[in-house]
Amino acid sequence: MRYVFVVFSMFVLTCSVLYASEHVMDISKTDIFQRTINFAIFVGIMWYLVADKLKAMLQQRTRAISEKLTQAQAKVKESREKKEKAQQRLKNAYDQVPEIIKSAKQEANIAVQNIEEKTKDHIVNLIKANEEAMEFQKKLFQKQIVEEILHEIFVSPTLKLETQDYVGILEKKVA
């Protein structure tokens, strides 16, 4: 309403200046006052019909812009917080680098010790298996030698033993 009053006042002031000036034609022979009144009535009617809708539309637009601005500010704030958190995590990670390296070296040393222990156990097992295999081969070799000697004894024409002799030898061996 204030704007209408300002516009109307400016219009009336302009008309007064024109009426008071000497270079302008005689204003009494024109219908300027009637037109001014008609214009004021038109502006009043338009203001009455459109003002509330226009105000509501402008307020709604203002609210929408305000909400978007608030959302944008919230996103900026959130992104700043995320950036600060990420920088803090990065700083923490840089601070933890020596600890991580130290623990990795310790784990590597432990792994080396475990591998060495397993290797030593494996070597002991291989030596033991080798000794057992050598013992087995030794017994097998002795058995073969005994078989060959016995075969020569039994087949040999110079040495003839009777069944009773065999039984006697076996009884001495068993007892």
pLDDT, one tens digit for every residue, the chain (175 residues): 666 676 677 776 676 655 555 555 566 677 888 888 999 899 888 888 888 888 899 999 999 999 999 999 999 999 999 999 999 998 888 888 888 888 889 999 999 999 999 999 999 999 999 999 999 998 898 888 878 877 776 676 666 666 777 677 777 766 5
CB 19 within 8 A of CB 27: yes
Q: Would you kindly state where each structural domain of the chain is located, as residue ranges? A: 144-174
pLDDT number for residue 122: 92
Q: Which residues contact 43 (CB under 8 A, 6 or more apart)?
A: 4, 7, 8
pLDDT number for residue 99: 87
- Kindly give the interhelix angle for 2-20 and 32-155, rounded to the nearest 10 degrees: 140
pLDDT number for residue 59: 93
pLDDT number for residue 23: 54
Tokens of 111: 């792994």
The pTM assigned to this predicted structure is 0.37
